[in-house]
Structure 1
Amino acid sequence: MAKTIRIGTRDSELALWQANMVQKKLTNLGYDTKLVPVKSTGDLVLDTPLYELGITGIFTKTLDVAMLNGEVDIAVHSMKDVPTALPKGIVEATVLERANVQDILVHKGLGFLEADGVIATGSLRRKAQWLHKYPKHDVVDLRGNVNTRMQKLTDNHWNGAIFAAAGLERINLKPENYITLDWMIPAPAQGAMLVVAKEEDMFCLEALANLNHEASEICVHIEREFLRELEGGCTAPIGALAQIVENTIQFKGALFSLDGKHKIEISEEVSIDDAASFGKRCAQKVLNNGGRELMKEIKLNLK
């Protein structure tokens, strides 16, 4: 029997844009849908850095609870916000075609790059990579949805702030005064959207299977496998990017110390036929190259 698919989403402009995109795709396939916006803990608590909240999945937990309580049928997420281990009973239903993977710097002029500067970001990954390249700069915490963060940049005397290009592009918020940080390794699954559903909900799982983009799914799963093997959760300074070039998967990953001084990087490629456990194998090489000790140090400093 057909049913109305209730789509759970955060209530920020970007999250609603993503949920609306999924809704349109399902509607075009003939499904009845309804958006159910909720506010997450990550949106409500803006005065504490994410890593200090001590919760993995801070932006997804509220939607997980709503789904398990039967209030929504599916949930749409920015995949980079989703913990590598999903709650029991919830499964990945579809990965949509990936958008721009890169980070960008929205700035007020670039003269500061070779002098003193203050950059804003709420991401340990971005902070560590920025300090690795610009060790004399200060990095301040920046929280909130993309609209809030853009306004905070305007209101403060910072030189710039780092954003995911995809988020700003999706809601037409990318300004002219930006540069692409092509040297910065993105977060695992950055630019990808994930839709989850309950494991036993075959109606929704079959509906969402129609939206899956296989190449994007392969790449983000390699990146998240790399993250999971390093035991980074959503907080450690870990970057990962897998890309398919013809029949080859090219992978680049890195683990940084919190202050950006230490970097353990890996660059590997493999045939697409040998993609199974590729992310795990890359992570093991990082762990065996000093990463195990670095992860212990990071966890100790984040307690």
Structure 2
Amino acid sequence: MGNSAHNEDIPANTGIIRIGTRDSELALWQANKVKSALENLGYKTELVPVKSEGDLNLDQPLYEMGITGIFTKTLDVAMITGKVDIAVHSMKDVPTTLPKGIVEAAVLERASNKDILLHKGIEFLNEEKGTIASGSLRRKAQWLNKYPNHQVVDLRGNVNTRLQKLKDNNWNGAIFAEAGLERINLKPKDFLPLEWMLPAPAQGAMLVVAMEKDTFIREALSKLNHRETEICVHIEREFLKVLEGGCTAPIGALATINVDEIHFEGNLLSLDGMQKYSVQKTASVKESNGLGQLCAKELLNNGGRELMEEIKVKLAK
């Protein structure tokens, strides 16, 4: 009797968990990591590569379903239309509000949260001029805050594309997430750790999402969840959500746990890096609920609100 109720929860795919993934090297590495972890627990899985922006001809407009993330959109649609059961993401790329019907099913243990500089010699750091490449508003603003006379040029594409562009151009260096380079064995011996740069909320963490109604899949994924990472990244993403209000801005955040205490540091910068608002707080892990929200509100009340308005206006142009 007890089993029949559970069997109804098993999806029609006979228990094979179909893992949706984009086809970049990093996305495939992340999907394979989840595949191995699930298979070690005895689940059957298969990878389903999903091409970007392909079959998005849904009846319902995407914005009505709350689908916004540029890197997650295609996989969200594949899940909602039943082509895949789960999707694996770099958590920092995932919008703070998930589409209707999709839930966080597991946060994997975090890798490095650091940004690093790949460079062609660091002498330029002591000089007046320098050119750095990054497509991230956060990295650009924090770099210009520290090196106001430098130039930051835009750099887009997957990790391999960006590494090639760094080789092909006469830039002094480019900023990368350490975790991404480590995962696909592309971190060079010679790099500069940017200890002073606050990472993106949830940087270095991987998120697996599933359909809310799929209890079989959610139960399987719950076994991969790393609680300490989950607590930290949720505080960081809560901070981001309160600050952003649907707008992209240069926002850094990092929560770390030390025994039973959690330390949070967050910042918001102007696009040119000239203005910077920071907040730091420590709380016990037991009382850390709402810490990200509390820090965001404090930052907004201390000048951040006006800066967010300015950023929204500039980005809308």
Scaled by the length of structure 1, what TM-score is found? 0.94
Mapped to 2, the partners of 1:228 and 1:235 lie a distance apart of: 10
Mapped to 2, the partners of 1:232 and 1:155 lie a distance apart of: 38
Q: CA RMSD in A?
A: 1.1
Alignment check: 8 A CA contact 2:85 2:211 kept: yes
Query: How many residues get paired?
Result: 290
Alignment check: 8 A CA contact 2:19 2:47 kept: yes
Q: Does 1:237 align with 2:250?
A: yes
Mapped to 2, the partners of 1:231 and 1:161 lie a distance apart of: 26
- Partner of residue 27, structure 1: 39
Counterparts of 1:282-301 in structure 2 under 5 Å?
Answer: 282-301=295-314
- Partner of residue 75, structure 1: 87
Alignment check: 8 A CA contact 1:108 1:177 kept: no
Once the two structures are TM-superposed, the CA of residue 234 in structure 1 deviates from its matched residue by 7.3
Alignment check: 8 A CA contact 1:56 1:234 kept: no
Paired amino acid for 1:102:
K
Local SS of the residue matching 1:302: helix
- Partner of residue 111, structure 2: 99
Paired amino acid for 1:127:
K
Decide which of 267, 274, 278 is 2:287's aligned counterpart: 274
Q: Spell out structure 1 runs of 4+ moving beyond 6 A.
A: none
Mapped to 1, the partners of 2:123 and 2:52 lie a distance apart of: 38
- Partner of residue 261, structure 1: 274
The superposition leaves residues 74-110 of structure 1 with CA deviations (integer Å, 9 ceiling, x where unpaired) of 0000000000000000000000000000000000001
- Partner of residue 60, structure 1: 72
Paired amino acid for 2:110:
R
Once the two structures are TM-superposed, the CA of residue 232 in structure 1 deviates from its matched residue by 5.6
Mapped to 2, the partners of 1:39 and 1:156 lie a distance apart of: 29
Over alpha carbons, which structure has the higher Rg?
2
Mapped to 2, the partners of 1:257 and 1:210 lie a distance apart of: 41
Mapped to 1, the partners of 2:118 and 2:251 lie a distance apart of: 22
Counting aligned pairs with the same residue, the percent is 70
Decide which of 137, 140, 145 is 1:132's aligned counterpart: 145
Mapped to 2, the partners of 1:283 and 1:19 lie a distance apart of: 33
Counterparts of 1:174-253 in structure 2 under 5 Å?
Answer: 174-231=187-244, 233=246, 235-253=248-266
Mapped to 2, the partners of 1:263 and 1:72 lie a distance apart of: 42
Alignment check: 8 A CA contact 1:232 1:238 kept: no
- Partner of residue 4, structure 1: 16
Once the two structures are TM-superposed, the CA of residue 213 in structure 1 deviates from its matched residue by 0.2
The superposition leaves residues 36-83 of structure 1 with CA deviations (integer Å, 9 ceiling, x where unpaired) of 112335xxxxxxxxxxxxx94100011001100111100000000000
Give the unaligned 5+ runs of structure 2. 1-9, 54-66
Alignment check: 8 A CA contact 2:247 2:312 kept: no
Change in 2 beyond 3 A, CA 1:190/1:234? farther
Once the two structures are TM-superposed, the CA of residue 220 in structure 1 deviates from its matched residue by 0.1
Mapped to 2, the partners of 1:38 and 1:184 lie a distance apart of: 33
Alignment check: 8 A CA contact 1:40 1:60 kept: no
Alignment check: 8 A CA contact 2:264 2:281 kept: yes
Mapped to 2, the partners of 1:272 and 1:97 lie a distance apart of: 17
Give the unaligned 5+ runs of structure 1. 42-54
Mapped to 1, the partners of 2:131 and 2:228 lie a distance apart of: 38
Alignment check: 8 A CA contact 1:40 1:58 kept: no
Mapped to 1, the partners of 2:21 and 2:139 lie a distance apart of: 25
- Partner of residue 122, structure 1: 135
Mapped to 2, the partners of 1:109 and 1:26 lie a distance apart of: 43
